[in-house]
Amino acid sequence: MKPILPGAMLGLLGGGQLGRMFTMTAHQMGYQVTVLDPDADSPAGRIADQFICADYADQSALQQIGEQCAAVTTEFENIPADVLSTLASLSRVSPGARSVAIAQNRIAEKHFLKTHGFPVAPFAVIEQVDGEDEIEHLFPGILKVSQFGYDGKGQRPVNDEAELQAAFIEMRSVPCILEKKLPLKSEISVVLARGCDGATVSFPVVENQHVGGILDISIAPARISNRVAEQASAAAKNLVQILEYQGVLCVEFFVLEGDQLVINEIAPRPHNSGHYTIDACITSQFEQQLRALCGLPLGNAALHHPAVMVNLLGDLWQKSEPDWTQVLEEPLAKLHLYGKKEARPGRKMGHFSVLGATVDEALASANQIRQHLESN
């Protein structure tokens, strides 16, 4: 494919923080961006060269993007897959509709992973209250809606069939996955890119800690053995090859006792656990997304410093604007704020990354900054 060069207009479906960071990278490299988002005041829409405020399925908006943009990508995994197919008849689109359709639906995702021999948590599809399936072995478990869940939303712990039935009704009886709750030693993820020539480049494996189902911090590189890191990267590469994926994708893994790896879920876009790449890698996940989209060679994804990324949730703003003094004073810290006006609890408002000579140094410094932020 002929590369799409700086100066071109790129289309972006979704205007959240992932889109904002993509847009900033595109601007740095001399590209223009058109953002489509139904929210009139989205983080990416605000800095885009052209902002179309419309529903994702709005045919005239799609027509406009398809005609004006040299290539189109997405930052939001719940774009209806047929929107991507429509756009693909007008412009170059990555990732493709099939990959997004699999990643946005837990039932399709689990079946895909299982069919191709990837290890997943024991699960059952729950589509009615009194299903026939034998599910006793899945308790204690977690009931997850198959679509539109994120940051732990749309999930309930369930200990027996009565709790499962109550939770299912609470979820309005939409199709769900019941998954066995596994004893996690740790959680890791692999963000990687696959270009249009089939070449893949993987970022270092990162370790993730969640609080209340929301990513809290990411530690790069993950504190795991080389063997586990290689296994995770190899599985992620295998997965994007099977999908014939184009673009950036994240694979979330659970690490169990005995270092057994289980794939939790995949995201067909840059990922919160890859934000450390902006400040700690030679190429960021957003530059890699742009490179894959435009048919440029993928960049070097090596880590130049160990790093810790800490998410800044709306909870921090509850009393007043956080005191940024310490994060701004630390020479190895980088503050990123997404420009969201309303700071609701649990809402991702920004993050900071801290580099260090070692992971322990970066962690100590990140913890100090966070304590200072939380004490105000």
Rounded CA separation 103/249 (Å): 10
Rounded CA separation 265/288 (Å): 21
Rounded CA separation 372/323 (Å): 8
Among 77, 109, 252, 279, binds ligand ADP (CB under 6 A): 252
- Should residue 265 be labelled a site residue for ligand ADP when binding is judged by CB under 6 A? yes
- Number of other CB atoms surrounding residue 159 within 10 Å: 11
Question: Closest Cα partner for 1 from 82, 84, 71, 63?
Answer: 71
At 315 the three-state DSSP class reads helix
Q: Which is nearer to ligand ADP, 152 or 339 (CB)?
A: 152
Among 264, 285, 289, 353, binds ligand ADP (CB under 6 A): 264
- Number of other CB atoms surrounding residue 173 within 10 Å: 12
- Should residue 279 be labelled a site residue for ligand ADP when binding is judged by CB under 6 A? no
As measured in angstroms, the least distance from the Cβ of 213 to ligand ADP is 5
Number of residues that bind ligand ADP (CB under 6 A): 17
Cα torsion angle, 102, 108, 110, 115, sign? negative
Residue 155, amino acid: Q
Query: Among residue numbers 133 through 192, which ones bind ligand ADP (CB under 6 A)?
Result: 142, 144, 149-152, 179, 181-182, 184, 187
* Beta-strand relationship, 176-180 and 92-93: unpaired
Instruction: Please report, for residues 186, 216, 241, 250, 251, the alpha-carbon distance to residue 261 in angstroms, rounded to integers and kept in the order given.
Output: 10, 21, 19, 15, 12
Tell the residue number behind the tokens 């063997």, with chain if given.
Answer: 227
Q: Which is nearer to ligand ADP, 123 or 352 (CB)?
A: 123
Q: Which is nearer to ligand ADP, 8 or 182 (CB)?
A: 182
- Report whether 118 contacts 253 (CB < 8 A): no
Q: Which is nearer to ligand ADP, 201 or 251 (CB)?
A: 251
- Should residue 41 be labelled a site residue for ligand ADP when binding is judged by CB under 6 A? no
As measured in angstroms, the least distance from the Cβ of 184 to ligand ADP is 5
Q: Which is nearer to ligand ADP, 62 or 124 (CB)?
A: 124
As measured in angstroms, the least distance from the Cβ of 114 to ligand ADP is 14
Q: 3-state secondary structure string, 262-307?
A: EEEEEECCCCHHHCHHHHHECCCHHHHHHHHHHCCCCCCCCECCCE
Q: Which is nearer to ligand ADP, 163 or 265 (CB)?
A: 265
> Per-residue string for binding with ligand ADP, 104-143, x by CB under 6 A?
-----------------x--------------------x-
Query: Among residue numbers 190 through 219, which ones bind ligand ADP (CB under 6 A)?
Result: 210, 213
The two tokens of residue 132 are 């026939």
Q: Which is nearer to ligand ADP, 148 or 357 (CB)?
A: 148
Q: Which is nearer to ligand ADP, 110 or 340 (CB)?
A: 110
Query: Among residue numbers 67 through 106, which ones bind ligand ADP (CB under 6 A)?
Result: none
Positions that interact with ligand ADP (CB under 6 A): 121, 142, 144, 149-152, 179, 181-182, 184, 187, 210, 213, 252, 264-265
